[in-house]
Amino acid sequence: MAKKSTGPSHGLHTALGIDIGGTGMKGGIVQLGEGKKSGRLLGDRFRIPTPQPASPEAVADVLAQITTELDARDRAPAPASPVGVDFPAVIQDGICRTATNIDPSWIGTDVDGLFSERLKRPVRTLNDADAAGLAEVRFGAGRGVQGTVLVITLGTGIGSGLFRDGQLVPNLELGTIELDGIMAETRASAAARERDGIDWPEYAERLQRYFSYVEGIFYPDLIIVGGGISKRPDDYLPHLTLRTPIVPATLRNNAGIVGTALWALENLPTVSA
């Protein structure tokens, strides 16, 4: 059985978090710290459609628009405070390494550097599934769970986040693994269910195959399912038979924003003496 660990650090803080998606970029002011009020948005999200083509410069311009809007709100953090941004790619030390679902021009881009220069303040980026998972582990369905927690987001593709005793193991790409000679996300993503026009029981069979496989690799203490279908857990979770407890995410569409804001505060740049 999973054990309990300590929660977020003491004190309350606010930070900006921005989620970059394929069709929309949305941001919010996030309350962070410890207690019931932590891990929530202060006010409404602000959304602007993702530019097309979503080139680095075009995305940076929209990011600046969102930040300007959030900075003008009453409960915004200080203008020079760090901003967290999640991104649908592998991010390694601030550098974009893959472009499965984004413009290929991003590969090799110093995303942290680009966004920091555009906003004139520190920006910290991370993979979008990692951001959502971080929020769930610290403030949502995985809060206080010690051991191995696997967060799987089912949407256009399959995102994944792996946590050991609350610590992120970044850039786990479990949507691209092959099952029966087919990339997993082409059959088991939420988009695949809609594309193929299958009902929930049939879709659950695909999820069973997928979750059984990843369960056998990681032997997690908890699996959290995120993405849009986390709103409808009764349609598929009762059809799954796993050793591991599996639960829906609780932060839903705000998870990415919350996770990136937390990431920014906990990964502040080091200042040389």
Model confidence pLDDT, tens digit, residues 140-193: 999 999 999 999 999 989 999 999 999 999 999 999 999 999 999 999 999 999
In a domain, 187, yes or no: yes
Q: How many domains does the chain have?
A: 2
Domain range enclosing 52 = 8-130+255-266
Assess whether pLDDT exceeds 80 at residue 210: yes
- One domain for residues 155 and 103: no
List, for residues 78-95, the tens digit of each pLDDT value: 989 999 999 989 999 999
CA distances, 99 to each of 104, 117, 205, 264, 271 (Å):
5, 22, 29, 23, 32
CATH number at residue 233: 3.30.420.40
- One domain for residues 199 and 229: yes
In a domain, 1, yes or no: no
Angstrom distance (rounded) from CA 270 to CA 273: 10
In a domain, 135, yes or no: no
Angstrom distance (rounded) from CA 128 to CA 183: 20
- One domain for residues 110 and 180: no
- One domain for residues 72 and 26: yes
Which pTM does this prediction carry? 0.90
- One domain for residues 122 and 14: yes
In a domain, 3, yes or no: no
Max alpha carbon distance in the chain (Å)? 60
